[in-house]
Amino acid sequence: MTIERTEKTWRPQTQMVRGGTRRSAFDETDEAIFMTSGFVYEKAEDAEAAFKNEIDRFIYSRYGNPTNEMFQDRLCLLEGAEACRATSSGMAAVFASLASQVSAGDHVVGSRALFGSCQFILTEILPRYGVETTLVDGGDLDQWEKALSKPTKAVFFETPSNPGLEIIDIRAVCEMAHSAGAMVIVDNVFATPILQHPMELGADIVVYSTTKHIDGQGRTMGGAILAPEDWVNETLSPFYRHTGPSMSPFNAWVLLKALETLDMRVAKHCQNATEIANFLTEQAKPTRVLYPGLESHPQHALAKSQMSDFGTVVCLDLDGKKENAFRFMNALQLVDISNNLGDAKSLTTHPATTTHQRISEEERAELGITDGFVRLSIGLEDVEDLKEDIAQALSKV
Ligand SMILES: *Cc1c(COP(=O)(O)O)cnc(C)c1O
């Protein structure tokens, strides 16, 4: 299926509601779920032609599926990307975006401030296949320049990072990466497709965990890779077809519905997060409050220049002490303890003992993830209820 020309001119809110929709012969209003693993051919010759790529049609849902294609097209229209592949999780998207293009002997550069599983792929899995990886402090352009002084196949980073909310200068890193011959992959999970458009700043590939804000209601696991069409056809597609990280059509349908409200939800999340960040700075107990929208954030100006709002996650440090962090989290009555984020329900995580427990204490210290560091994913509840809950929990510390 190809994206219709009229759709390309619609504004983002219209894309989120209607982009990529294809009606079946039954003229349904809502997008249909095609829960089918395979497709039938009228003649053996048709199957032969399909496998030879001589005709464009669905073959097998590991390769592609009509519901998935509607979701992929809608995301492309929103991101301004040429092509997309939906995956079974965000990590499947991260892994496929890298593994599909690297070979033994290649060099990959990444930022140090990464989600634990992304860090595992760069530092444990890729080196096992003979790929050399260099990690840099993402905020230090001199370190990027040094690491990219030798030929590099791919660059991978998150901005804002999970959970340290480090901001990376997308435009500057893309320029250096391209000079080194690298494709730039940006994990845009924390920014969402609403707040930041890495491709407009030079990124080649954008990856999402759709499990987070794109679902936004805690139902499905999923991911997406957005990239130039040639790269998807020549590099990603063979890897994707034969290794099988494809998304369930049911999840693609849930996510199509979720995209219809994404911008409204993200706007509300950001509004609540800003209020909570300001509220926390007025409280005595946190020794540090981290939110890209606060002027005290070390990269506030950079965040302002490349994001349209500051995201949905607020972090605080309770004097570097695990005991304080646990006491605070256990006292919360409305906010749930969960390692997920971007959900309608506000959630809290202690990264040092969960998502980032695998990395060493020294590395955590470098990333500012102390034992007192708490991540709050701000949801869609009434912000006054959230403030009351946070205030009473802080009083227990
Ligand atoms: C959650 C997350 C992922 C992984 O996504 P899953 O859907 O859990 O596999 C990758 N990157 C970032 C920044 C994340 O927050």
Closest ligand 1 atom to residue 94 Cα is: 10
For the chain, residues with pLDDT lower than 70 are: 1-6
What whole-number distance in Å separates Cα of residue 220 and Cα of residue 22?
A: 22
Q: Which domains does the chain have, with CATH numbers?
A: 12-259 (3.40.640.10), 262-394 (3.90.1150.10)
316 CA distance to ligand 1 centroid (A)?
21
Helices (H), the chain: 5-8, 12-18, 44-51, 66-79, 90-99, 116-120, 126-128, 141-147, 170-179, 192-195, 229-231, 237-243, 249-259, 262-281, 300-306, 322-331, 361-366, 383-394
pTM of the complete model: 0.96
- In contact, 67 and 24? CB cutoff 8 Å: no
Which DSSP state fits 223? E
What whole-number distance in Å separates Cα of residue 315 and Cα of residue 296?
A: 13
Q: What's the pLDDT score for residue 22?
A: 92
Question: Which amino acid residue places its CA nearest to atom 5 of ligand 1?
Answer: 90
Those residues whose C-beta lies under 8 Å from the C-beta of residue 264, and which sit 6 or more positions away, are none
Q: Strand pairing partners for 349?
A: 375
The sign one gets for the Cα dihedral 379, 380, 383, 386 is negative
Those residues whose C-beta lies under 8 Å from the C-beta of residue 308, and which sit 6 or more positions away, are 194, 195, 196
Closest ligand 1 atom to residue 161 Cα is: 13
4-35 core/surface letters (b: 16 or more CB in 10 A; e: else): eeebeeeebeebbeebbbeeeeeeeeebbbbe
- In contact, 126 and 114? CB cutoff 8 Å: no
Question: What letter represents residue 268's amino acid?
Answer: K
**Nearest Cα residue to 122 out of 153, 145, 146:** 153
244 CA distance to ligand 1 centroid (A)?
19
8 CA distance to ligand 1 centroid (A)?
29
354 CA distance to ligand 1 centroid (A)?
14
What whole-number distance in Å separates Cα of residue 237 and Cα of residue 230?
A: 10
What whole-number distance in Å separates Cα of residue 155 and Cα of residue 309?
A: 25
The set of protein residues with a Cβ atom below 6 angstroms from ligand 1 is 89-91, 94, 115, 117-118, 158, 162, 187, 189-190, 209, 211-212, 221, 223
Q: What's the pLDDT score for residue 359?
A: 83
- For strands 132-136 and 154-158, give the pairing: unpaired
Closest ligand 1 atom to residue 91 Cα is: 9
- In contact, 10 and 73? CB cutoff 8 Å: no
93 CA distance to ligand 1 centroid (A)?
9
What whole-number distance in Å separates Cα of residue 363 and Cα of residue 369?
A: 9
Q: What's the pLDDT score for residue 2?
A: 57
**In testing the pocket of ligand 1, which one of 87, 89, 91, 313 has its CB within 8 Å of the most ligand atoms?**
91
**In testing the pocket of ligand 1, which one of 186, 212, 367 has its CB within 8 Å of the most ligand atoms?**
212
Cα atoms in the Cβ-side hemisphere of radius 13 Å centred on 376: 33
User: Does an H or E element contain 174, and which?
Assistant: helix 170-179
322 CA distance to ligand 1 centroid (A)?
24
292 CA distance to ligand 1 centroid (A)?
20
Q: What's the pLDDT score for residue 4?
A: 65
- In contact, 190 and 160? CB cutoff 8 Å: yes
Q: What's the pLDDT score for residue 9?
A: 87
Cα atoms in the Cβ-side hemisphere of radius 13 Å centred on 329: 27
Residues comprising the chain, all counted: 397
Q: What's the pLDDT score for residue 19?
A: 94
- In contact, 343 and 217? CB cutoff 8 Å: yes
What whole-number distance in Å separates Cα of residue 227 and Cα of residue 76?
A: 9
